């Protein structure tokens, strides 16, 4: 029996037992009661697993473009796997086979499905749009924060839109399909091949063939789904850049691009209005804010923004800061607000044993960031994953610089040497543009990373990272570009970025296998080092045999936590020397948490054991900043 026929069999059995419900017009309809939702025990839980409930992620998901009239569709939907693309021609009607928690990865315990190997799937729910909720606004928008990898959306049986790209937001105007005052049917067909050959798509560390540093994949609607009621010519986007001189450049985009007068107010704490600036929509304008307090990791000062076109109003925020690269006392440096700031933080994968790609709660997500901050780190490298926008909002508030990787594309580990074809490369580059345009409003992000360790990187002499770097600078001239973190450096971007385990080679006159010599014309950086491991107690370990078997592949294993911390101390002292003696401007420690069989986190995968001795780490990290300050 194929998996699909097993499902059909189960439905037939269920439908015999369940009370028949009414007729749906479609041959795929199944008369059954969906299997009710219950969280399935994940292989390993976290302190937040029990707190998820059935209304997850209730927070407004778009902190930089907030409106009053919104409604979350997160919660219990129904789900069933599909046989293939052909089902798009005849969507199943009615309730689907089983209940599922949205948002979630269907592979996760929290989803209630915990199924792997499914590439095609349906999700369904219903929603009401009452006239008292719309407040007379005529246009209804349906927002998806992220669906991995392709989503085809139907509202009341009509195709309402399609989106490709597993990490990005999309908004559909569903006004023509919605019935105000009655129940509406929403169904989403999802296709997510991850790395199934011959697929070659941006998917980061997800794999259908898990092995050590390649982890369980995430499929489905993994970030919030929500509705908004807006005027016909609504504000569709804001671009705001605020710099260290108090200068602000802004564009208020509207959907129809019919010019409207617009007011932008800058608001300080206590709702003190610092200024109201008048302009026209869809045209860049600028203004100056005298004595604006600057944003930095030490002083993460943010200002609220209110934008009003008379017919639409949105809330947002920004921070005043400038990041650049220049020579300071003979060394090329990353410069924040005119000053060399040594950047130190972790490789942050954003994986969770209970939610896979989905942090169980916003508090869980912020717990990791607060731990880094409490150890004195000022940076985090978001590693080949893109997080919900609330992650960047948290980094803005906490004061953590973010190095944002583009999720790598690469085929399954077994065929790792093949390269993307022209179409796959074009899609990768299109998604790089989505990353930059959707996230460039967050002050915390200081660097965009294109390629990690050559994964999916064409190494033919046209070197795609050269063109991609130029394109990113066009879309966002206000940040640095790390074109290749580790491995194949062809001179593109602002960084000369080495990866080396366990000890660093940060701006040093020596280098090893697979790395390029330090190029003093660019910023000397250690994009990865550390990786010091420690096998946790069984109760803190991802108890999947395949993962356990790969523990010895961890870069270095230490017998106990005293040794773990001693080794970290030694490596951080080496790094400090490299800051003092050579061209080292920042470094990324591997990593925030264990992930599956990779057991080298400051925290175990379940976040229940903090391995790092905080006293020692704080002192060792402070010594890095002091060594950098001493150099100027």
Ligand X SMILES: *[C@@H]1O[C@H](CO)[C@@H](O)[C@H](O)[C@H]1NC(C)=O
For binding to ligand X (CB under 6 A), which residues are involved?
Answer: 21-23, 25, 130, 132, 613, 615-616
CB of 508 to ligand X, least distance (A): 26
Task: Give the whole-angstrom CA distance, residue 554 versus residue 560.
Answer: 15
Antiparallel, parallel or unpaired: β 523-530 and 586-590: parallel
Angle at 114 between CA 112 and CA 116, to 5 degrees: 150
Rounded to a whole number of angstroms, the minimum distance from the CB of residue 163 to ligand X is 30
Residue 132 CB, nearest approach to ligand X (Å)? 4
Beta carbon nearer to ligand X, 2 or 132: 132
- 564 to each of 98, 495, 604, how far by Cα in Å? 45, 30, 13
3-state secondary structure 367-426: HHHHHHHHCCCCEEEECCCCCCHHHHHHHHHHCCEEEEECCCECCCHHHCCCCCCHHHHH
Residue 488 DSSP SS3: coil
Q: Which is nearer to ligand X, 553 or 615 (CB)?
A: 615
C-beta of 132 vs 545, nearer to ligand X: 132
**Whose CA is closest to 588, among 500, 526, 539, 497?**
526
Question: With 0-12 CB in 10 A as exposed, 13-18 as middle and 19+ as buried, what is 490?
Answer: middle
11 vs 167, beta carbon nearer ligand X: 11
Q: How far is the CB of 225 from ligand X (least distance, A)?
A: 21
CA torsion 470→171→302→395, rounded to 10°? -70
Cβ contacts of 316 within 8 Å, gap of 6 or more? 63, 64, 65, 66, 238, 240, 304, 305, 306, 307, 441
Cβ 164 to ligand X shortest distance, Å: 32
> In terms of CB distance, is 6 or 619 closer to ligand X?
619
**Min separation Cβ 614 and ligand X, Å:** 8
Under 8 Å between Cβ of 186 and 126:
yes
Q: How far apart are CA 331 and CA 578, in angstroms?
A: 13
Q: Decide whether 410 or 534 has the Cβ nearer to ligand X.
A: 534
How many angstroms separate the CA atoms of 296 and 444, rounded? 8
Which residues sit opposite 380 in a β-bridge? Answer: 346, 402
Nearer to ligand X, 133 or 287 (CB): 133
Nearer to ligand X by C-beta: 145 or 185?
Answer: 185
* Least spacing, CB of residue 367 vs ligand X, in Å: 21
Shortest distance in whole angstroms from residue 154 CB to ligand X: 17
Taking alpha carbons only, the member of 580, 573, 584 closest to residue 508 is: 584
Crossing angle, helix 614-631 and helix 561-581, to 10 degrees?
Answer: 0
**Minimum CB separation from ligand X for residue 562, in Å?**
6
How far is it, in rounded angstroms, from Cα 196 to Cα 63?
35
Nearer to ligand X among residue 4 and residue 133 (C-beta) = 133
Cα separation, 104 vs 360, whole angstroms: 9
Is there a contact between 109 and 41 (Cβ–Cβ < 8 Å)?
Answer: yes
Closest to ligand X by CB, 35 or 365:
35
How many Cα atoms within 13 Å fall on the side-chain side of residue 29?
12
Distance of closest approach, residue 25 Cβ to ligand X, in angstroms: 3
In whole angstroms, the minimum distance from the beta carbon of 181 to ligand X comes to 7
- Kindly give the interhelix angle for 389-398 and 362-374, rounded to the nearest 10 degrees: 30
Nearer to ligand X, 93 or 335 (CB): 93
The closest of 548, 547, 555 to 210, measured between CA atoms, is 547
- The nearer residue to ligand X, 310 or 374, going by C-beta atoms, is 374
d(CA 194, CA 198): 10
Question: Angle, nearest 10°, between helix axes 464-475 and 422-439?
Answer: 30
Angle at 511 between CA 505 and CA 517, to 5 degrees: 105
Residue 2 or 25: the one with the smaller Cβ distance to ligand X is: 25
* CA distances for 86 relative to 28, 90, 401, 594, angstroms: 12, 8, 45, 40
Please report how close the Cβ of residue 69 comes to ligand X at its closest, in angstroms. 12
CB of 172 to ligand X, least distance (A): 24
């Amino acid at each position: 029996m194929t998996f699909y026929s097993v499902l059909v069999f189960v439905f037939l059995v269920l439908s015999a037992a369940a009370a028949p419900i009414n007729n749906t017009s479609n041959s795929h309809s199944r008369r059954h009661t969906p299997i009710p939702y219950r969280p399935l025990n994940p292989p390993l839980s976290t302190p937040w697993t029990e707190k998820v409930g059935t209304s997850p992620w209730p927070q407004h998901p778009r902190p930089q473009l907030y409106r009053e009239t919104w409604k979350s569709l997160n919660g219990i939907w129904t789900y069933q796997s599909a046989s293939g693309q052909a089902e798009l021609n005849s969507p199943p009607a009615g309730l689907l086979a089983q209940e599922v928690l949205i948002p979630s990865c269907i592979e996760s315990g929290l989803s209630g499905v915990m199924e792997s190997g499914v590439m095609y799937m349906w999700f369904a729910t219903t929603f009401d749009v009452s006239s008292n909720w719309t407040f007379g606004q005529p246009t209804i928008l349906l927002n998806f924060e992220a669906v991995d990898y392709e989503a085809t959306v139907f509202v009341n049986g009509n195709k309402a839109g399609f989106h490709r790209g597993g990490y990005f937001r999309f908004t559909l105007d569903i006004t023509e399909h919605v019935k105000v005052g009655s129940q509406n049917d929403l169904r989403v067909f999802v296709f997510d091949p991850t790395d199934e050959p011959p697929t070659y798509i941006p998917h980061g560390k997800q794999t259908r063939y898990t092995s050590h540093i390649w982890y369980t994949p995430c499929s489905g609607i993994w970030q919030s789904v929500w509705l908004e009621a807006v005027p016909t010519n609504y504000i569709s986007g804001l671009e705001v850049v605020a710099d260290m001189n108090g200068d602000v450049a802004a564009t208020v985009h509207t959907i129809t691009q019919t010019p409207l007068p617009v007011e932008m107010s800058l608001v300080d704490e206590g709702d003190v209005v610092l200024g109201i600036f008048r302009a026209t929509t869809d045209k860049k304008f600028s203004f100056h804010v005298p004595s604006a307090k600057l944003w930095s990791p030490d002083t993460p000062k943010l200002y609220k923004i209110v934008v009003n076109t008379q017919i639409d109003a949105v809330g947002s925020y920004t921070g005043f800061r400038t990041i650049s690269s220049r020579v300071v006392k003979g060394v090329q440096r990353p410069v924040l607000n005119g000053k060399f700031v040594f950047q130190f933080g972790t490789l942050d994968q954003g994986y969770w044993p209970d939610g896979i790609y989905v942090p169980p709660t916003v508090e869980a997500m912020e717990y990791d960031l607060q731990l880094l901050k409490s150890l004195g780190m000022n940076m985090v490298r978001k590693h080949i994953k893109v997080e919900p926008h609330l992650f960047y909002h948290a980094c803005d508030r906490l004061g953590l610089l973010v190095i944002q990787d583009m999720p790598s594309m690469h085929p399954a580990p077994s065929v790792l040497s093949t390269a993307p074809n022209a179409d796959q490369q074009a899609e990768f580059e299109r998604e790089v543009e989505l990353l930059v345009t959707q996230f460039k409003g967050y002050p915390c992000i200081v660097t965009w990373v294109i390629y990690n360790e050559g994964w999916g990187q064409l190494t033919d002499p046209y070197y795609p990272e050269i063109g991609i770097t130029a394109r990113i600078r066009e879309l966002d001239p206000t940040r640095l570009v790390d074109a290749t973190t580790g491995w194949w450096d062809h001179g593109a971007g602002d960084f000369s970025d080495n990866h080396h385990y366990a000890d660093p080679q940060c701006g040093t006159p020596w280098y090893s296998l697979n790395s390029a010599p330090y190029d003093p014309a660019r910023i000397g950086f250690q994009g990865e080092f550390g990786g010091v491991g420690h096998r946790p107690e069984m109760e803190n370990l991802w108890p999947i045999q395949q993962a356990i078997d790969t523990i010895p592949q961890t870069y270095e294993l230490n017998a106990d936590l005293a040794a773990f911390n001693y080794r970290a101390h030694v490596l951080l002292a080496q790094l400090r020397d490299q800051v003092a003696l050579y061209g080292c401007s920042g470094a990324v420690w591997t990593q925030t948490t264990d992930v599956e069989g990779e057991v080298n986190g400051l925290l175990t995968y379940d976040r229940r054991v903090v391995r790092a001795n905080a006293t020692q780490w704080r002192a060792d990290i402070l010594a890095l900043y002091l060594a950098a300050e001493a150099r100027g």
